[in-house]
Amino acid sequence: MDDAIESLLEKKGETFQKLEKNTGISFIAFADRISGRIYDSIKSIDLIGDEIGAGYEIILSGYAPGHDSTSTMKRIRREIPELQVVSTSEKIEGMARDISFRNSSGKYLVPFSPELVYPVEYADILHSFMKFKIKRLFFSELPMLHRDLISDVGGWRPLRNGSDLDLFSRMAVNYGILACPTNMMWKDRITVKDVMGLRYPENMTGLSASERYLLTRDLIIACNHSFSDIREFTRIRKEYDGEGSMTLMLLAFLGSRLSDIKPVSYNRNNLVVVMESLLESLVLKEYLKVDGMEDRVYLQIDRAHMEFLNLRSRMFKDMKASLSYFLRDQI
């Protein structure tokens, strides 16, 4: 374990510089329906953007014909002039993300969930990160991505599920991650699975069989799961959560191999790629570069993904003792 940590410490540090004036932020979200929480969510993002004071816009994209006519959207448009609404032809999250990116003007992109209400304290954390000209993925419950990085690694791909993880894995390999997970939303149980946009559709209500299949297929592509991965992970999810259909996973795995969108392949699956880059950053305590993070850092991982990392990541096993502070009582 000591050797592993020492090798990480040999990495070169970045040069940090002052925040430029008029640095813009584009907050982007995907919504295929207008929920009751979307007003509160966008309002919280509006407060964060205003508090940062760097110029911002909020872009909501998704497949929602006629959504502007709803009372909720009328209220949001009336009260939040920074909001832009972009309709897409299909309910494909990655495609909507890419359209938001292409319609955005910010130097930084901040993906958020329209189902969550974010504390305004995130403004301080994001502003602190923006002070530094550092081209890495900023990982927190509100991730921040430099525009150049998104373009350099090819942007979001048209995946219905896991499109953020698919993008984050390319960023992790090419640029690395600065990990700043916080304890500010621990009551909402926001785990790394949620930050990376991983959804498991077996028990999601209101979905047809074909929708469940497509969501599962695209998740496998995003994660670059092998047959062994899906077999092991399905077993783990059944054990811990009582969920997981092996039949659906097998059909989706076969479909992923026939899809026009191919998995991005490294020497391990993409979930492990991102998590190991995140863990490196935490062990090196890089979060201390960000103002106010010392007492806030907290990595929340659900039980199924914790067990999967135990089995698939040598780094996670070797550094578990060093990670106990960040994981608190989870291990």
Checking if the pLDDT of 161 tops 90, the result is yes
- Mean pLDDT over residues 18-30, rounded? 73
Q: Which pLDDT value is given to residue 58?
A: 96
pLDDT in tens, 171-187: 999 999 999 999 999 88
Least trusted range by pLDDT, from 64-68, 115-119, 162-166, 283-287: 64-68
Does residue 248 or residue 240 have the better pLDDT? 248
- Mean pLDDT over residues 219-234, rounded? 95
Q: Which pLDDT value is given to residue 19?
A: 41
Model confidence pTM above 0.85: yes
- Mean pLDDT over residues 320-331, rounded? 76
- Mean pLDDT, the chain, rounded, equals 87
H, E, C per residue of the chain: CHHHHHHHHCCCCCCCCCCCCCCCEEEEEECCCCCCCHHHHHHHHHHHHHHHCCCEEEEEEECCCCHHHCHHHHHHHHHCCCEEEEECCCCCHHHHHHHHHHHCCCCEEEECCCCCCCCCCHHHHHHHHHCCCCCCEEECCCCEEEHHHHHHCCCCCCCCCCHHHHHHHHHHHHCCEEECCECCCHHHCCCHHHHCCCCCHHHCCCCCHHHHHHHHHHHHHHHCCCHHHHHHHHHHHHHHHCCCCHHHHHHHHHHHHHCCCCCCCCCCCHHHHHHHHHHHHHHCCHHHHCCCCCCCECCCCCHHHHHHHHHHCHHHHHCHHHHHHHHHHHC
Least trusted range by pLDDT, from 56-65, 74-83, 231-240: 56-65
